[in-house]
Amino acid sequence: MHGGGNCRGSMQTAKLEPACIRICVPVPPLLFSAEVKLTRAIPVLTLLFALHGAFLPAGLAATPASRGPEGKKTAKTPPGSEIFGKPTVLDFQVLLVETNLQSLRDRPRDYTRAIVVVNGITNREVGVKLKGAAGSFRPVDDRPALTLNFDKWIQNQRVFGLRRLHLNNSVQDESRMNEYIASELFRSAGVPTPRVAWATVRINDRQLGLYVLKEAYETEFLKIYFGSAKGNLYEGGFVKDIGRDMVKESGDGPDDCSDVLALQAATLEKDSTNRWTKLQKLMDVELFANYAALSVMLADWDGYALNRNNYRLYFRPGDGRAVMIPHGMDQLFQRSDMEMDSYWNGSLAWSLFDTPQGRKLYEERCQQVFTNVFKLDHITNMIAQATVVLKEADPLVARYAKDLTDRIERRHRNLRRDPMLKPPTPATTNTVPAK
């Protein structure tokens, strides 16, 4: 996305090296899907967002809206639906000359130029850089995670209508399915979350194996959920809470972090009634409660609520309220006994749920999300369907999928016994025995 900045000052622009140039053909039409098992086809898919009305906050749309000739809203298929509508594996080859390879060795976080071939279709002058934090970062000569920016140097160049994509090496999730499951469930609970597919990846002729493919926090993503990308979007940083150090990635709002600082100040309000009032005004508390409830069910110990990590914060341009967007969900279901009444590390979580109104809201949403979203049969069916596709690219996925299914079943059993999720005990009527 363009026009971003950060609260600490501007980042330096990387020195760019030229790459060899090939003819660019726009949107690749070929992909692998669950129904064609690695056979090339041109499916026409409709993105299915399983959004439950009980969780859908005002203003949140599953698909962007456009207006017809009479001014009425008409449905519009979101960009990327061809690859995110069902389990799909694509083929990516990233071609780098030695100069650009060296650039990624020396400055891995800066874009360099590359040729990117997607399912046989060549895209020239693509920006490529390495991504990943402490646990997942790998150098370019290893098995790196990559960010691909298709219109970095060629304006309006897109792949499946998307300008930017992430290729995650998934070194902390051998099943390659945690991100996929979490994305589906969060979106089912109305929480804006990037969509997920998969890809086999090569750098030049070096095979890197199966990757998780994710859409970026781009204009297209924001318009799908909010109808506009004009609000400020912030990156949280590595194990950092909201505050002045947040990096503004995009948005037409203030560049002085005043929106974040106002929200931070509200979390520090000592009077719980005033705190609830201020937080309600500055953030979508209902949507945040959905996010927090599902985070604990997923045992997402490395997310914002439990670890102040892996998140984005978007201030909706319509009402200015903040919305939490989850990120980096590759370490799930590792703690099957995690209780719903958890210890919150993120300031938005502990300050909100420490108020009587926030506590009540959280408990209500825990019950609703567990009943309507965290459905064991649905989750295991997702895994089974994805396994059929992924094992063709990596046969070991089937074994890891079985392990993941076992962990999810244990997690679900423990949640059924959780005091916050157990149905209330039926009231008994005391009767006086007849004399």
Distance CA 73, CA 64 (A): 10
Structure tokens given for 120: 């046989």
Tell me whether residue 318 is in a domain: no
Q: How far apart, in whole angstroms, are the C-alpha atoms of residue 293 and residue 336?
A: 15
Q: Provide the domain limits for residue 68.
A: 32-222
Would you state the pLDDT for residue 134? 76
The predicted pLDDT at position 428 comes to 53
Rounded to an integer, what distance in angstroms lies between the CA atom of residue 67 and that of residue 74?
6
The answer to whether residue 8 is domain-embedded is: no
If one counts the domains in the chain, the total is: 1
Tell me 348's DSSP state. H
Paired tokens of 364: 């209500």
Helix 285-297 and helix 178-188, axial crossing angle in degrees, nearest 10: 150
Residue 65, domain member (yes or no): yes
pLDDT of residue 237: 86
What's the CA gap between 120 and 284, in Å, rounded? 43
Q: Is residue 386 part of a domain?
A: no
Please check whether residue 262 lies inside any domain of the structure.
no
- Torsion angle (degrees, nearest 10) of CA 217, 218, 223, 229: 100
Can you tell me the distance from the alpha carbon of 421 to that of 363, in angstroms, rounded to the nearest whole number? 8
d(CA 234, CA 244): 11
16, two tokens: 């760019």
- Smallest CA-to-CA distance from 197 within 86, 298, 106 is with 86
Please, how many CA atoms are within 13 Å of residue 270, restricted to the half-sphere of its CB? Answer: 0
What local confidence, expressed as pLDDT, does residue 427 receive? 58
> Which among 80, 59, 92, 105 is positioned nearest to 323, based on CA atoms?
59
Stated length of the chain: 435
Residue 83 belongs to some domain of the structure: yes
Give the integer Cα–Cα distance in Å for 433 and 435: 6
Residue 25 is classified by DSSP as -
Helix 258-267 to helix 272-282 angle (10° resolution) is 150
Percent of the chain residues topping a pLDDT of 70: 80
Q: Which two tokens stand for residue 204?
A: 């030049």
Query: Does residue 364 fall inside a structural domain?
Result: no
Residue with tokens 């916050």: 420
Residue labelled with tokens 């919150």: 344
Both tokens assigned to 377: 């049969």
Low-confidence ranges of the chain (pLDDT < 50): 1-4, 8-74, 431-435
Does 94 fall in a domain? yes
Nearest to 4 by CA among 209, 252, 187, 276: 252
